[in-house]
């Protein structure tokens, strides 16, 4: 059987026997040509492909569903994050989506999710748009060997049809937009949104289900390796600096967003990066800046000059959530294998909109468990639809929207691994200082880099620390390359009473949020958190 015939049979097996033109495993250049031919995007002056996503400039978390079916029902942590949809509704959605695809030109990619040979998952991504297929090619690990492609048997298929819109009354969705996961049929259906990030996050959600059941911790974090072979993890939600801070010229990049931690070490889930690039500059983020101006890179909602096609990273008129999608190999010092050892340091990033968290604090193992379960940050403008300015939030394990299992599963695995490998844990605030959002200023990237470098290099091991009375974390009193008054957030506020009140307000929010987890943790973990 020819490759084409075999692949066509593969689409029929998942209920998509398309009668239109099918493009299998196209190269970057070919996908560029198709995207421009179909007016999906424009070529910029730097050779990147600039595309726009229309109404949806971020994820739609309220439109994601899991099919309630026997193979997964007992494992999924049902609730506001993991909403159920019944199999009959899924079948109707699947059937109508397949009918919509008839006669349409489609693009198919065979790839891998996961760099570790023992845990990688073969996936197939079927897209209506050529640029979405290029996005998937950038973000996953494409199978470029012809013989290997002939043997490629996807464990999961992702079907992405932005122009197909659901009927909530008929299909059981909340709106015309949907991301529906069927663990039993190994299918993900995406429609009603042009935002390519839904493809990436769907695969991450699947791995967050399958890997912990195999004893591997799945993590929403970036990772890099130092000159001495020491691996560091950077947890944090979108906009907190995972990509920026892990892309360090002095360290090798494993990956910028999603990783697994097995008994033998850390491995990247992806083959590319999806960097936030609003106000991107060569001086502050040289690696991302260089990668975002290369052929093969997709610029999502980045404004370009209509005549010269020059890129304007400072223009946020379409969204603050402008993105750059590029292969990991575009980072000069990326780790080719996408793998590293067991982490020596774990950094938990947050963007504190209240401006009261210290820029860096050392956490005990119990405090690490507390803050991992809390997952405090601020939703950054544009990351999700309808969010126009930073808003304080708690996202369990720094990735609640993508966690199908109970939060305690991930937290228990993390704390056990931290203890087993004696990893140091740090809480880093990349948000505001000197006052809350609208009054204070965003923490300087140069200071944050200096503090993280000092932590990873062991330079903060011997300095003195002081305990924050309300937030209950240990703050270093000195750090190379950082003014001492920056290290204590209270000193950066002109009105000290206002700071104390704001710190008390945030501490109370932590306490209230953590009531959800109190019955499942030790007293030591509970006591390691802020004090209202």
Residue 387: pLDDT above 80? no
Catalytic site includes residue 201: yes
Indicate whether 325 and 361 sit together in one domain. no
Is 6 a residue whose pLDDT tops 70?
Answer: no
pLDDT at 113: 98
Side-chain-side CA neighbours of 383 within 13 Å: the count stands at: 17
C-alpha span between 26 and 111 (Å, rounded): 12
State the sign of the Cα–Cα–Cα–Cα dihedral 369, 444, 352, 375. Answer: negative
Last residue of a domain, one of 184, 210, 236: 210
Indicate which residue of 63, 110, 160, 257 is catalytic: 257
Calculate mean pLDDT across residues 161-167: 98
- Mean per-residue pLDDT for 3-12? 59
Exposed/middle/buried for residue 5 (C-beta within 10 Å: 0-12, 13-18, 19+): exposed
In a domain, 151, yes or no: yes
Residue 37: pLDDT over 70: yes
Alpha-carbon distances of 467 from 284, 434, 524, 528, 529, rounded to whole Å: 31, 19, 17, 12, 12
Evaluate if residue 1 carries a pLDDT over 50.
Answer: no
375 φ/ψ sector (left φ>0, alpha ψ -120 to 50, else beta): left
Catalytic residue among 120, 171, 200, 242: 242
Asked whether residue 531 is assigned to any structural domain, the reply reads no
Specify whether the CB–CB gap between 277 and 299 falls below 8 A. yes
Task: Find the domain containing 320 and state its range.
Answer: 274-330
CATH at 390: 3.90.228.20
Mean pLDDT for 301-315 is 97
| Residue 243 pLDDT level (bands cut at 50, 70, 90) | confident
Express each pLDDT in 321-337 by its tens digit. 999 999 999 999 999 99
Catalytic residue (choose from 83, 120, 152, 323): 323
Same domain, 123 and 167: yes
In a domain, 47, yes or no: no
Same domain, 111 and 201: yes
Give domain status of residue 245, yes or no.
Answer: yes
pLDDT digits (tens, 9 = 90+) for 443-467: 999 999 999 999 999 999 999 999 9
Q: Which of 48, 218, 222, 238 is labelled catalytic?
A: 238
Query: Do 407 and 371 share a structural domain?
Result: yes
Given 64, 171, 201, 276, the catalytic residue? 201
- Whether 374 is catalytic: no
Name the pairing type of β-strands 343-350 and 424-429: parallel
* Residue 468 annotated among the catalytic residues of the structure: no
Number of domains, the chain: 3
**Nearest-CA neighbor of 378 among 399, 392, 389, 388?**
392
pLDDT-based confidence at residue 5 (cuts at 50, 70, 90): very low
Average pLDDT of the segment spanning 431-440:
91
Q: How confident is the model at residue 350 (pLDDT cuts 50, 70, 90)?
A: very high
At residue 97, the pLDDT reads 97
Q: In this structure, what token pair is assigned to residue 226?
A: 């130092």
State the virtual CA torsion across 419, 411, 247, 48 in degrees, nearest 10.
160
Percent of the chain whose pLDDT exceeds 90: 86
Does the pLDDT value for residue 275 go beyond 70? yes
242 tagged catalytic: yes
pLDDT value, residue 353: 87
Q: Which of 121, 272, 277, 132 is nearest to 191 (CA)?
A: 132
Same domain, 320 and 396: no
Phi first, then psi, for residue 69 (nearest 5°) are: -140, 160
79: left (phi over 0), alpha (psi -120 to 50) or beta: left
Catalytic residue (one of 53, 57, 202, 243): 243
Query: Residue 238: pLDDT band by 50, 70, 90 thresholds?
Result: confident
Active-site residue, 238 included: yes
Residue 390 pLDDT more than 80? no
Domain boundary among 330, 351, 374: 330
Q: Is 37 a catalytic residue?
A: no
Q: Which of 220, 251, 293, 371 is catalytic?
A: 220
What average pLDDT does this structure show over 470-498?
Answer: 97
pLDDT band, residue 284 (cuts 50/70/90) = confident
Per-residue pLDDT reduced to its tens digit, 365-374: 999 999 999 9
């Amino acid at each position: 059987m020819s490759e084409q015939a075999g692949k066509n049979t593969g689409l029929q097996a998942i209920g998509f026997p398309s009668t239109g033109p099918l493009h299998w495993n196209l190269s970057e250049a070919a996908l560029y040509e198709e995207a421009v031919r179909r007016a999906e995007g424009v070529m910029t002056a730097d050779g990147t492909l600039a595309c726009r996503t229309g109404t949806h400039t971020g994820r739609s978390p309220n439109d994601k569903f899991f099919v309630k079916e026997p193979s997964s029902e007992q494992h999924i942590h049902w609730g506001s994050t993991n909403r159920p949809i019944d199999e009959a509704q899924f079948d109707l959605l699947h059937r109508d989506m397949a009918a919509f695809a008839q006669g349409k030109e489609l693009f198919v990619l065979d790839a891998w999710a996961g760099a570790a040979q023992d845990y990688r998952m073969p996936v197939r991504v079927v897209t209506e748009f050529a640029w979405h297929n290029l996005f998937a090619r950038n973000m996953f690990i494409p199978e470029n060997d012809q013989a290997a492609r002939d043997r490629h048997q996807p464990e999961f298929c992702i079907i992405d049809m932005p122009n197909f819109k659901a009927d909530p009354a008929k299909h059981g969705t909340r709106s015309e937009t949907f991301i529906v996961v069927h663990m039993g049929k190994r299918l993900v259906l995406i429609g009603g949104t042009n935002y390519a990030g839904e493809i990436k996050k769907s695969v991450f959600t699947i791995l967050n289900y399958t890997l912990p059941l195999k004893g591997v911790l799945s993590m929403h974090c970036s990772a890099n390796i130092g000159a001495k072979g020491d691996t560091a993890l950077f947890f944090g939600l979108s906009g907190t600096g995972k990509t920026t801070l892990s892309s360090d010229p002095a360290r090798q990049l494993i990956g910028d967003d999603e990783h697994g931690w097995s008994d033998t070490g850390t491995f990247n889930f992806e083959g590319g990066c999806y960097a936030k690039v609003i106000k991107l500059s060569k001086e502050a983020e040289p690696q991302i800046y260089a990668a975002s101006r290369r052929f093969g890179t997709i610029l999502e909602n980045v404004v370009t000059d209509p005549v010269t096609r020059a890129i304007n990273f400072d223009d946020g008129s379409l969204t603050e959530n402008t993105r750059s999608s590029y292969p990991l190999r575009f980072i000069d010092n990326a780790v080719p294998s996408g793998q590293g050892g067991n982490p020596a340091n774990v950094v938990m990033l947050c963007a504190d909109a209240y401006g009261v968290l210290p820029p860096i604090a050392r956490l005990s193992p119990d405090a690490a468990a507390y803050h991992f379960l809390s997952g405090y940050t601020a939703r950054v403008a544009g990351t999700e639809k309808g969010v126009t300015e930073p808003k304080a939030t708690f996202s369990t394990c720094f990735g609640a929207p993508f966690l199908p299992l109970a939060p305690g599963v991930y937290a228990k695995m993390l704390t056990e691994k931290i203890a087993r490998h004696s990893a140091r844990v740090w809480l880093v605030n990349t948000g505001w200082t000197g006052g809350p959002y609208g009054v204070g200023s965003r923490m300087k990237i140069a200071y944050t880099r200096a503090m993280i470098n000092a932590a990873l290099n062991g330079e903060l091991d011997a300095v003195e620390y002081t305990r924050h009375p309300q937030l209950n974390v240990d703050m270093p009193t000195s750090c190379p390359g950082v003014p001492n008054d920056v290290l204590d957030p209270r000193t950066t506020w002109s009105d000290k009473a206002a700071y104390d009140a704001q710190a008390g307000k945030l501490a109370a929010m932590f306490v209230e949020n953590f009531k959800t987890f109190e019955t499942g943790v030790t007293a030591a973990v509970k006591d390691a958190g802020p004090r209202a």
